[in-house]
């Protein structure tokens, strides 16, 4: 069996396991709709009145997508690792030809599928609410690369946290600051000057910037895509090494 065949086998099992957990499916796809309902319909944007949502809705599309590409892989990969540990599945897989990077690739593939679907739901919902959303072919690589980044980070968290509870707590602790400090809903101008350089350390920043450039500002997004691609490679490698072999 080739690498692709093993990744396909792993991804197929992971996908079936996911779609058969109704609660997980409901909240995975319900979560972005809740976001849109709260921020798009209840709070609403106010381009002329300033405040938290002082820009048109299109400006915040990267923020909505950023939340999905951040939270879903972090919690899903971390939880998958915790479940695998509980069932001694890694101990079994370590004695099969499946390499650790193949396992992560299989699960990243499933997350890409889930997040593309969820992103479609968000964009559709925003359009229904009257937002002027511009689709760009660059959306696809941005979403895929960001998912890979946060799958890798999720694997690292899964390695550190020893239980599903621990993974969820760690995911929230990492994700929440990133959401607000990565040029998603909060612009750099709203942050203290001394903190602004730290924005560059968040991988999510390059996703949010790039998507905004591609879908709202209509500016070249190549540099941000390049940085995100580099980070995807780094986090994928680190995440692969983080996957346990003896539990």
Note the residues at the interface with other proteins (CB under 8 A). 1, 5-6, 8-10, 12-14, 16-17, 20-21, 86-89, 91-98, 245-246
Nearest to other proteins of 91, 229 (CB atom): 91
Nearest to other proteins of 10, 183 (CB atom): 10
Nearest to other proteins of 91, 217 (CB atom): 91
As measured in angstroms, the least distance from the Cβ of 100 to other proteins is 13
What is the C-alpha to C-alpha distance for residues 203 and 205, in angstroms, rounded to an integer? 5
As measured in angstroms, the least distance from the Cβ of 110 to other proteins is 12
Identify the sign of the CA torsion 127, 129, 130, 133.
Answer: negative
As measured in angstroms, the least distance from the Cβ of 3 to other proteins is 11
What is the C-alpha to C-alpha distance for residues 52 and 186, in angstroms, rounded to an integer? 7
As measured in angstroms, the least distance from the Cβ of 79 to other proteins is 13
Nearest to other proteins of 48, 95 (CB atom): 95
Nearest to other proteins of 37, 90 (CB atom): 90
As measured in angstroms, the least distance from the Cβ of 117 to other proteins is 19
What is the C-alpha to C-alpha distance for residues 128 and 106, in angstroms, rounded to an integer? 33
- Counting beta carbons within 10 angstroms of the beta carbon of residue 58, is it exposed (0 to 12), middle (13 to 18) or buried (19 or more)? middle
Q: How far apart are the first and last CA of the chain?
A: 24
Torsion angle defined by CA atoms of residues 223, 228, 115 and 105, in that order, rounded to the nearest 10 degrees: 140
CB atoms < 10 A from the CB of 192, how many? 6
């Amino acid at each position: 069996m080739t690498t692709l065949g093993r990744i396909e086998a792993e991804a197929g099992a992971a996908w079936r396991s996911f779609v058969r957990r109704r609660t997980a499916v409901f909240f995975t796809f319900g979560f972005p709709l809740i976001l849109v309902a709260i921020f798009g319909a209840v709070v609403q944007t106010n381009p002329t009145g300033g405040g938290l949502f002082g820009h048109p809705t299109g400006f915040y599309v990267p923020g909505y997508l950023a939340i999905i590409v951040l939270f879903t892989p972090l919690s899903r990969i971390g939880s998958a690792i915790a479940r695998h540990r509980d069932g001694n599945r890694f101990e079994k897989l370590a004695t099969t030809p499946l390499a650790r990077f193949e396992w992560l690739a299989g699960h990243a593939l499933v997350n890409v599928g889930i997040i593309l679907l969820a992103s479609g739901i968000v964009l559709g919902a925003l359009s229904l609410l009257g937002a002027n959303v511009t689709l760009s072919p660059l959306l696809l690589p941005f979403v895929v690369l960001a998912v890979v980044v946060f799958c890798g980070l999720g694997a690292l968290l899964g390695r550190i946290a020893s239980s599903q509870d621990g993974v969820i707590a760690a995911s929230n602790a990492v994700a929440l600051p990133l959401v607000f400090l990565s040029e998603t809903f909060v612009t750099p101008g709203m942050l203290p000057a001394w903190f602004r350089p730290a924005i560059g350390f968040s991988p999510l920043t390059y996703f949010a910037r790039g998507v905004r450039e591609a879908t709202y500002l209509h500016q070249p997004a190549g540099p941000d895509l390049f940085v995100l691609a580099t980070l995807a490679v780094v986090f994928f490698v680190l995440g692969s090494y983080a996957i346990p072999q003896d539990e």
